Amino acid sequence: MSIVVTGATGELGRLVIDRLLTTTPADGIAAVVRDREKAAGLAARGVELRIADYDRPETLAGAFRAGDRVLLISGSEVGSRVAQHTAVIDAAKAAGVAQLAYTGILGGPDADFLLAAEHKVTEQLILDSGLPYTFLRNGWYTENYTANLAPVLAHGAVVANAGDGRVASATRADYAAAAAAVLTGEGHLGRAYELSGDVAWSFAEYAAEVARASGKEIVHKDVPAAVHQEILVGAGLPAGFAAILVDVDEAVRRGLLAGTGGDLARLIGRPTTPLAETVAAAVAAS
């Protein structure tokens, strides 16, 4: 039996494996990756590589073994994820894995925004498969915002169409620690965890935090959804992706990403990483 992480060379996958390696021998961890060379660092640490591609279902036949505990990290290609996830679920069922943990989205079946659609379908596919499951319904990564600090600092503004809505974000490392906990612990089968940060913040508060960390004047500009769409497309984002981001802000406005139920802190055994800490680190690195 191994603990198997799919998408293991992605930002979240690498952090999950880093966390697993603090408690689990490397020879008990396997990484499902498309590119062996890209995963060379994992192999050098003793992690088993299993080469497979979400988009080529036949390659997944050897990715899992009976009794494995598997983390399915959702694909990053919006619009392709249902087919990709179906291939993984089918392969996991055929292998007889002992657990399939899935990184879904905060709110699960109650999330009614565009980005949630494929996650909801995937959860139902897992339920229909009969596999022992754990749903990790991840909220927003603070890095979704701090990774995009350059234009904020350049223009002195945080632009959004979320009104006074709040985001209960946490860091990728926090979510990775939760994934590692359910893969190595007991009592998580058949559970759905709503994972989010301990504190929900508004975009005005986020702008103030960036201002505090940078020493620059940073304001929050709330704009209509159509205007925000134009701004994002004008900045070079594809129209479809811009529409998804605008729709997320509308979900924030409706309070769908503000939940602070505490599941994440309970799983990781500590408070989630404060917004101020992540912002300060990002500003220092910018």
Q: How confident is the model at residue 78 (pLDDT cuts 50, 70, 90)?
A: confident
CA pseudo-torsion sign 215, 200, 18, 36: negative
Q: How confident is the model at residue 45 (pLDDT cuts 50, 70, 90)?
A: very high
Can you say whether residue 215 is alpha, beta or left, with left for phi > 0 and alpha for psi between -120 and 50 degrees?
Answer: left
d(CA 153, CA 108): 34
- Bridge partners (DSSP) of residue 105 are 138
Give residue 130's pLDDT. Answer: 97
- Bridge partners (DSSP) of residue 219 are 157
Tell me phi and psi for residue 68, to 5 degrees. Answer: -65, 150
pTM: 0.95
Q: Region 71-100: what's the mean pLDDT?
A: 92
Helix 275-285 with 203-214: angle, nearest 10 deg = 50
* C-beta of residue 245 within 8 angstroms of C-beta of residue 100: no
Q: How confident is the model at residue 124 (pLDDT cuts 50, 70, 90)?
A: very high
Tokens coding 32 = 């499902």
> In this model, does residue 198 exceed pLDDT 90?
yes
- Say which residue the tokens 């729709």 belong to: 247
> In this model, does residue 3 exceed pLDDT 80?
yes
Give residue 80's pLDDT. Answer: 78
Please write the tens of the pLDDT for every residue from 205-242.
999 999 999 999 999 999 999 999 999 999 898 999 99
d(CA 147, CA 143): 5
> In this model, does residue 76 exceed pLDDT 90?
no
> In this model, does residue 251 exceed pLDDT 80?
yes
> In this model, does residue 18 exceed pLDDT 90?
yes
